[in-house]
Structure 1
Amino acid sequence: MKINSVFSKALLFAGTMFFTLGFQSCLDDDDNNYSLRYPNALVTVKSDADGSLFLQLDDKTTLLPTNVKKSPFGDKEVRALVNYDEVDESSGDYSKAIHINWIDSILTKPIAPDLGEENDKIYGTDPVEIINDWVTIAEDGYLTLRFRTVWGGRNKHFVNLLLGQNPENPYEVEFRHNAYEDTYGTTEDRLVAFKLDGLPDTEGKTVKLKLKWKSFTGEKSAEFDYCTNKSLTPANPEVAAVRSKQDLK
């Protein structure tokens, strides 16, 4: 991820301390085992033709869980944080066999429709900071973002990704945030993932995906490497708005 801004970049890189997401495990874990407290992968939760669970780790790597057969999120495809261990078992058609210790979904959304003059009213113009972190990445047909803003706890915040209005760059998108006037409180981080199937097919080439957003110090942008055909996502999967935090939509 390459950051471009005419303003200070200090907030964007501030801190690498793990952010609280209120993880909810689908399995029992050992609170005394430090290694189980934090995620060790960001994945896409998918199901094969017979409904069996598998995880897409990156554009090339798939994981077959040996201890969970069906998705805890139903038939919805979502991005998720997971803590897993590799196991010495057959992975079949998949890259690796794993044991899931816990898994927690991220709010996963499609690109929002362009409402023209209503964009600012509906999608908002409230500022955020996009955090340069291992979970801020474009892969497997998704743009996953860790972002930071102020939360007062009064209203759910509304976040969306819009197609850019740059006729010279079809791979330009814009992050929007509507706090619904819930702008006084504590500064906290959240995660959100957007499915990028609304972008033109890159036809196997890696292009620069440009993300724009309004920060607390002005307009900023970042670039990500993006390739449509490296995703193993089935055609037109249903995207679920499943999340662990209830203050985001």
Structure 2
Amino acid sequence: MKMSSFFKNSLLIAIAVVCTVSFQSCLDDDDNHYYYGKIPNALVTVKADADNTLYLQLDDETTLLPTNLSTSPFGDKEVRALVNYTEVENPSSKYSKAVHVNWIDSILTKPIAADLGEENDKVYGTDPVEIVNDWVTIAEDGYLTLRFRTVWGDPFKTHFVNLLLSQNPDNPYEVEFRHNANGDTYGENQDALVAFKLDGLPDTEGKTVKLKLKWKSFSGDKSAEFDYCTRKSVTPPTPALTATRGNAHLSLN
């Protein structure tokens, strides 16, 4: 995938921000972060099969068998992660491809937050963010992964981000991104990444529906729609061609 130098620099900043800014639930696994000066070429879910074989879910159909990793660097946690990998000729068995992982780094991965009713604003905040429309902002494999941009200033203040069900009776596939800056509302614009597991949404029963995301931006309320299908079985499917990744199905309003 070709990316402009501006995007490369922006994404590398985003990677750095995820684990350097004071940020809730960021994994502190510095010994397991390998960069080698290479940009990520995939966004994956780190999983284990029924026989505890480590594999990477690239999209809703494509699975990668990492030949140089026998166990997950993130323990028994299923997380979304940025990875730089190289395809290899090793047998991939029931997985789509065999790969050599050059480096891998987890991103903040969370469930949908509990609805606290009248306490939502107080607990989850109403501070603005911008959702960045690029290849890592995507709904796939049962997760909504977002690159977002906001103001960061005080390194001693913790920012909190959460996803809530919007409680729209006319649309069960509507969610709301919340940001609590904890008073840290002055500074520079920087980016970060977060992924939310969508298992709290109704089963789409194999159909693709529109998932609506709402958030408060610096210029007012905004929304976006994603193509979404309930996560399929975690059992790796028959080897298949790698799907083309992109944002063709994301529309920002």
TM-score between the two structures when normalised by the length of structure 1: 0.82
Distance 1:77-1:28 versus aligned 2 partners, 3 A rule:
closer
Quote the offset at 1:27 in angstroms: 6.8
CA 1:76/1:109 → structure 2, altered by over 3 Å: closer, same or farther?
same
In the aligned structure 2, how far is the partner of 1:192 from the partner of 1:180? 18
Alpha-carbon separation, structure 1, partners of 2:87 and 2:33:
16
Is the partner of 1:43 in helix, strand or coil?
strand
1:101 maps to 2:74? no
Cα shift readout 1:15-39 (whole Å, capped 9, x = no counterpart): 73532122857376644xxxxx200
Cα shift at 1:60: 0.3
Where does structure 1 lack aligned partners over 5 or more consecutive residues? 1-14, 32-36, 235-249
Q: In structure 2, what residue type is equivalent to 1:160? A: N
**Number of matched pairs:** 214
Name 1:46's counterpart in structure 2. Answer: 47
Q: State the Cα distance separating 1:154 from its structure 2 match.
A: 2.8
Letter matched to residue 213 of structure 2: L
Gaps of 5+ in 2: 1-5, 20-29, 236-253
Name the counterpart of 1:159.
161
**Would you say the 8 A contact 2:36–2:103 is kept in 1?**
no
Sort the Cα spacing of 1:88 and 1:162 in 2 relative to 1 into closer, same or farther, 3 A.
same
Inter-partner Cα distance in structure 2 for 1:155 and 1:28: 27
Change beyond 3 A, Cα 1:66–1:175: same
Q: Tell me whether 1:92 sits opposite 2:84 in the alignment.
A: no
Q: Aligned pair in 2 of structure 1 residues 98, 212: CA closer, same or farther (>3 Å)?
A: same
Describe the superposition over 1:148-176 as per-residue Cα deviations: whole angstroms up to 9, x where unpaired. Answer: 00001231100000001210000000000
- Calculate percent identity across the aligned residue pairs: 73
SS of aligned partner of 1:175 = strand
Residue number among 210, 216, 219 corresponding to 2:218 in the alignment: 216
- The alignment's C-alpha RMSD in Å is 1.6
C-alpha spacing 1:94/1:105, structure 2 compared with 1 (3 Å)? same
Counterpart amino acid of 1:177? H
Q: Which amino acid aligns with 1:144?
A: T
DSSP-derived class of the 1:18 partner: helix
TM-score calculated relative to the size of structure 2 = 0.81
The equivalent of 1:188 in structure 2 is 190
